[in-house]
Amino acid sequence: MSIAVAIADDQPLVRAGLQMIIDAAEGMHLAAQATDGREAIEVARRVHPDVLLMDVRMPGVDGIEATRLITSDPERSPRVVILTTFDLDDYVYGALQAGASGFLLKDIPAEQLVEGIRTIANGDGLLSPAVTTRLVKAFVRSSAHAPVPASIGELTTRELEIFKLIARGLSNAEIAETLFLSGATVKTHITKILSKLGLRDRVQAVILAYETAIVRPGIESQDTP
């Protein structure tokens, strides 16, 4: 089944370039375009694309606010990928807190963008290593931590172990290699983890882990409430 992709960007040349990449990619098609955040919200509700590529800086409603409004209805919302030329910390944190499933810079190669769209469409989150590093640093600077949800206690020992590895940025393949498990087993565990914690994808898992200090940068997994 073809992946339906929508684009929200106020620059015609950017939209044209993204359209060329999407049209040339196998297994996906461009479903709609929007020139600002308000149109992006309308496209999400009317077209229901699988993935929405969202610019940050747009007139009127910006990309972060549009993302927040779109993802407030998880039953019908597309998965949003923030695509921008800016990689400032406030954009990263704001976009992910708003419900984005990924964050990529516009200067990435076309093949990486296509692979990113496929990753998001398959239900995974997408954070480049640089973005993950910035996100972690933001939590390190924060002195306050959110309370650990009771649902953490529902995780098995293995699930908690995998949850912490997700938070440290390991891919499914890396987790499988680290724990001597098959890729299919890791994927099954991750599905159960997200379900138990009420999370949409691994991006939300990373945010939860650092917000609650279940995982702390530079410190190996130790005591967990």
pLDDT tens figures, 16-50: 999 999 999 999 999 999 999 999 999 999 999 99
User: Helices 202-211 & 129-141, crossing angle to 10 degrees?
Assistant: 20
* Same domain, yes or no: 13 and 104: yes
Q: State the chain's maximal CA–CA distance in angstroms.
A: 51
Reduce the DSSP state of residue 225 to 3 states and report it.
coil
Cβ–Cβ contacts within 10 Å for residue 33, how many? 18
Residue 53, CA atoms < 13 Å, CB-side half-sphere: 31
* Same domain, yes or no: 40 and 133: yes
pLDDT at 1: 81
* Same domain, yes or no: 168 and 90: no
What is the amino acid identity at position 43? V
Ranges 73-87, 125-139, 193-207: which has the least confidence: 125-139
Q: Convert 163-177 to b/e letters by CB count within 10 Å (16 or more is b).
A: bbbbbbbbebeebbe
Assigned domain for 217 exists: no
* Same domain, yes or no: 100 and 154: no
* Same domain, yes or no: 96 and 8: yes
Assigned domain for 219 exists: no
* Same domain, yes or no: 125 and 81: yes
* Same domain, yes or no: 99 and 152: no
* Same domain, yes or no: 99 and 170: no
Structural domain of 187: 144-211
**Which of 110, 138, 166 finishes a domain?**
138
Assigned domain for 19 exists: yes
The pTM score is 0.73
Domain harbouring 104, CATH code: 3.40.50.2300
Res. 89: pLDDT tops 70 = no
Q: Which one is predicted more confidently, 192 or 223?
A: 192
Reduce the DSSP state of residue 72 to 3 states and report it.
coil
Ranges 40-49, 157-166, 214-223: which has the least confidence: 214-223
Res. 221: pLDDT tops 90 = no
* Same domain, yes or no: 85 and 19: yes
Q: 35 near 10, Cβ under 8 Å?
A: yes
pLDDT at 84: 77
pLDDT band at 224 (very low <50, low <70, confident <90, very high): very low
**Which of 86, 107, 138 finishes a domain?**
138
* Same domain, yes or no: 156 and 113: no
Assigned domain for 223 exists: no
Domain harbouring 167, CATH code: 1.10.10.10
Alpha-carbon span 60 to 16, nearest angstrom: 21
